[in-house]
């Protein structure tokens, strides 16, 4: 993995950003969602990308892995909320499958990234600094 200096350059963060845009388009602006707690799905999807960003900025692999794990949990929460919305007919099958597949892909990417960090000899930038 090459050196990345900004969380915005991470593919997983970019994918989480796209998911937030999709949630906005298909859920938050969907009139059927007025019966649903649409703000919870908004917060959960935002939590995916926000935790990736926060973990990256912590500059330590253990902390980053922890925040990626929280992002993975939020992806599961979004998927659960999508299932409930589909069961209540707030989403059609095509939209549901599109969003569900996107959250599953993000979960898999997060798992891979967590495993990469756990097996990496690089512990993070904060451990490379001279004693300040």
CATH code where residue 58 lies: 1.20.1440.60
Give the integer Cα–Cα distance in Å for 127 and 125.
5
Contact 106, 41 (CB under 8 A): no
Residue 96, in any domain of the structure: yes
Mean per-residue pLDDT, 66-84: 97
In a domain, 32, yes or no: yes
Please tell me the total count of domains within the chain: 1
Q: pLDDT tens for residues 2-51? A: 577 899 999 999 999 999 999 999 999 988 887 777 789 999 999 999 99
pLDDT of residue 3: 73
| b/e sequence 37-59, b meaning 16+ C-beta within 10 Å | ebeebbebbbbbbbbbbbbbeee
Pairwise CA distance, residues 67 & 12, whole Å:
13
The model scores a pTM over 0.85: yes
Conformational region of residue 83, where left means phi above 0, alpha means psi within -120 to 50, and beta covers everything else: alpha
| Domain range enclosing 43 | 11-120
> Considering the domain boundaries, does residue 45 fall inside one?
yes
- Decide if pLDDT at 129 tops 60: no
How much is the pLDDT for 61? Answer: 86
Does residue 5 lie within any of the structural domains? no
**Confidence at residue 132, expressed as pLDDT on a 0 to 100 scale:** 38
Q: Assess if residue 26 is contained within a domain.
A: yes
pLDDT tens across 99-118, in order?
999 999 999 999 999 999 98
For residue 1, tell me if it sits in a domain.
no
53-to-17, 28, 32, 46, 111 alpha-carbon distances in Å: 11, 23, 32, 11, 16
Residue 93 falls within a domain, yes or no? yes
Question: Does residue 6 lie in a domain region?
Answer: no
């Amino acid at each position: 993995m090459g050196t990345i200096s900004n969380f915005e350059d991470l593919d997983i963060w970019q994918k989480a950003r796209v998911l937030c845009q999709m949630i906005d388009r298909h859920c938050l602006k969907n009139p059927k969602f007025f019966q649903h707690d649409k703000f919870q799905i908004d917060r959960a999807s935002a939590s995916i990308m926000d935790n990736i960003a926060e973990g990256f900025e912590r500059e330590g692999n253990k902390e980053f892995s922890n925040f990626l794990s929280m992002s993975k949990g939020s992806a599961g929460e979004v998927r659960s909320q999508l299932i409930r919305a589909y069961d209540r007919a707030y989403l059609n099958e095509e939209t549901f499958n599109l969003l569900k597949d996107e959250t599953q892909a993000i979960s898999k990417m997060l798992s891979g990234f967590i495993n990469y960090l756990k097996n990496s000899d690089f512990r993070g930038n904060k451990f490379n600094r001279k004693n300040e």
